[in-house]
Amino acid sequence: MPPTVAAAAPEFAAVANPRSRVILASLIGTTIEFYDFYVYATAAVLVFPHLFFPAGDDTVALLASLAIFGAAMVARPLGAVFFGHLGDRRGRKATLVGALLTMGVATFLIGTLPTYAVAGWIAPALLVVLRLAQGFALGGEWSGAALVATENAPAGKRAVYGTFPQLGAPIGFIVANGLFLTIAALMPSDDPSRPSLAFLDWGWRIPFLFSAIMVAVGLWVRLNLVESTAFEKTVQAGKVKRLPLAAVFRHHFREVVLGTFYMLATYVLFYLMTTFSLSYGRASPTAAVPGLGYDYRTFVLMMIGGVVFFGIFTLLSGPWADRWGRRRTLIWITLGIIAFGFLWVPMLAAGPAGVMAWLVLGFTLMGMTFGPMGALLPELFPASMRYTGSGIAYNVSSILGAAVAPFIAVALWQAGHGSPFWVGVYLSAMACITLIALLLGPETRDVDIEH
């Protein structure tokens, strides 16, 4: 009796794409994605308000810089639709190469931009264009990387392989913040509230230009990939959709909604533990809205310590999800996130040890909830529309969770007169929505993703 498609495919995929190539191909793009996020986020606060807007009102310049930063969130769903269409019609390999090249060129060009003093309003206009290009490319990056990992995974190890693109988040954080800390140490400033002249002159460009090295490695790896068996069988069976987006919303709208809310707690937790925590950690205890009062370097080093646990538990979550199922694993983890939201005040009030424990626990939960998503979202959709469906769910959730979470958190922080209690409650509430989605959704561990 001939082997079934589900049994034969992993063996074929393992020969076609060696494990090391699959791991690196799925990891490199998301590493660049999160590296880009942290490099831009840091520059948006430290550099761009000084260099890309006219002198005068520093607050207005900062808000304008952060608005450009947020513009990428608008472009991400558009990128998910565009690259998802190509990925479901033309194949995963070529689409991933295009997404990575677009992202790499845009990031590199930011490091070459003229400043406002040189080009006037052309400078921030170019910054907007390149930021939109980054978001557009990132919209197609994650789902393609997840598909490379899961569609090439051996039988019974899809969640393990699905953690590799997720590992790009902690690696990107460590590389980006480590590089900025190194540059800041080599170019010290006499004024702690403002970067040094050397840093503003040319030092800030280094992290953006450095991304070209990672992109070159990623392109080399991805150009050597062989197309996934799942896509080849879709082509051979004549199941390629003329309009994957229309097919997703016509036949799998429920899965799009479920996938979007599966990711909600993950996105909110991620942006609270990174963007909000850095603001809260650096704010003075005597400020109008008091914080913890740590200096930038100290708190970032503490965050890096927490992110190490993010990486460790991202990898550990894969075997758990393969053994116990995605749904069961994530239900328990989401219950942990709900409980964590109510622990913020006692942990943060316990001094440096409590703050460090808060960072470690938050990033540990982040790794545990983020890891299984690399397998879960692709498993919700058939091969003929998997790139589009998983990409839309992932990136629409980024708007609902990532785009608004920092603003809501700051408003709740201010409303609490410096207490993070309501910010923690907000996290717990969003995790409750994710829990409901998980309870309503199916288990996907045993789904045959070759069809």
In order of 49, 214, 331, 385, the CA distances from 324 in angstroms are 49, 35, 11, 27
Rounded to the nearest 10°, the torsion over CA 406, 407, 411, 412 is: -40
* Model pLDDT, residue 2: 36
Distance, CA of 145 to CA of 139 (rounded, Å):
11
User: What pLDDT score does 193 carry?
Assistant: 55
Q: What is the pLDDT of residue 265?
A: 97
Q: Report the C-alpha gap between 424 and 442 in whole angstroms.
A: 29
| pLDDT value of residue 13 | 40
Give residue 350's pLDDT: 93
Residue for token digits 């950690």? 281
CATH of domain 5-440: 1.20.1250.20
The reported pLDDT for the residue numbered 287 is 76
Domain boundaries, the chain: 5-440
The pLDDT value recorded for residue 109 is: 95
Contact indicator for 124, 52 with CB cutoff of 8 Å: yes
What pLDDT, on a 0 to 100 scale, did the predictor assign at position 59?
A: 67
In the block, tokens 């609270």 appear at 272
The contacts of residue 11 (CB under 8 Å, 6+ apart) are none
pLDDT of residue 361: 98
Q: How far apart are CA 115 and CA 120, in angstroms?
A: 7
Calpha distance 386→379 (Å, rounded): 8
Write b or e for each residue in 190-223: b if 16 or more Cβ atoms lie within 10 A of its Cβ, otherwise e. Answer: eeeeebbeebbeebbbbbbebbeebbeebbebbe
Per-residue pLDDT of the chain (451 residues; tens, 9 = 90+): 333 333 434 444 444 677 888 888 888 888 987 888 788 877 877 788 888 888 776 667 777 777 787 778 788 899 999 999 999 999 988 898 899 889 889 989 999 999 999 999 999 999 999 989 988 998 898 989 999 899 989 889 999 999 999 999 999 999 988 998 888 888 877 766 566 788 888 888 999 999 888 888 888 888 888 888 888 888 888 988 999 999 999 999 999 999 999 999 999 999 899 888 888 888 888 877 788 998 878 898 999 999 999 999 999 999 999 999 999 999 999 999 999 999 999 999 999 999 999 999 999 999 999 999 999 999 999 999 999 999 999 999 988 887 778 778 888 988 888 899 999 999 999 999 999 999 999 999 999 887 6
